[in-house]
Amino acid sequence: MQALLLIHAFPLNRRMWDPQIAALKSEFEVIAPDIRGFGEYQPPSPWTMDEMADDLRTMLDSLGIQTCTVAGVSMGGYIALAFWSKYPERISRLVLANTRARADNETEKNARNEMIAAIQQNGTAILPDRMLPRLLRPNAPHDVLLAVRKMIEEASDSAATYAVMAMRDRVDFSTSLHRINFPTMVVTGADDVIIRAEDSRALADAIPGSRFITIPGSGHLSNLENPEEFNRALLGFLRL
């Protein structure tokens, strides 16, 4: 059975993949871990993208999985690219959804620092109202809104802080994408205001032979906002 590794977004946890796990588990070995400090992966501790790649490799080794499809949304895409950079031989296919390859620019790094300071001063209670309007499209399904809010509220102050630091300090992969030599799919949400469609299109264009998919009726969390279309695209890609 083909293995599929799903890497979640910030500041959520593995439950964001529930619609994909339900749809794919009969056909694929689906692995959806919590990133360090989120969900059941406790306690929080500082990490870098490279260290998270090492965590995932160790996990795959423990499961006896030599190669797998790696899929990540947003922060999960940053981690997926770090994993590719360190362990390309472990990847059979790659899915980069609502994410980018370049590092933060100075404006974005300053925004990360401001978020870290706000979390340290006020806790993660500030995150739902701050992030939900950007994570989800306007008038997103109420059940999706509630589920995302709940996952955000469960994130601890330290886990959120360490993750923002890791994203702020991540390596730029934009000039090395031409080296990706296995099937890759880039996914964008039609209404994503964080990673806009034209940026995702540029990411796809930089990867030889990649597939580019737009998920209608979705913002930054395309797998949750329109799981039917996301799953259709993912299954189509995996069955190639």
Could you tell me which residues come within 8 angstroms of residue 79 by beta carbon, excluding any fewer than 6 positions away?
A: 7, 35, 49, 52, 53, 56, 72
CA nearest 127: which of 169, 163, 84, 92? 163
Residues of the chain with pLDDT under 50: none
Contacts of 106 (CB under 8 A, 6+ apart): none
Exposed (0-12), middle (13-18) or buried (19+): which is 94, by Cβ within 10 Å? Answer: buried
Q: Which residue has the tokens 């102050």?
A: 157
Domains of the chain: 3-238 (3.40.50.1820)
Q: What's the pLDDT at 127?
A: 97
Residue 240: its pLDDT value, please?
85
Question: Taking the complete model, does pTM exceed 0.85, yes or no?
Answer: yes
138, with CB counted inside 10 A (0-12, 13-18, 19+), is exposed
pLDDT at 45: 97
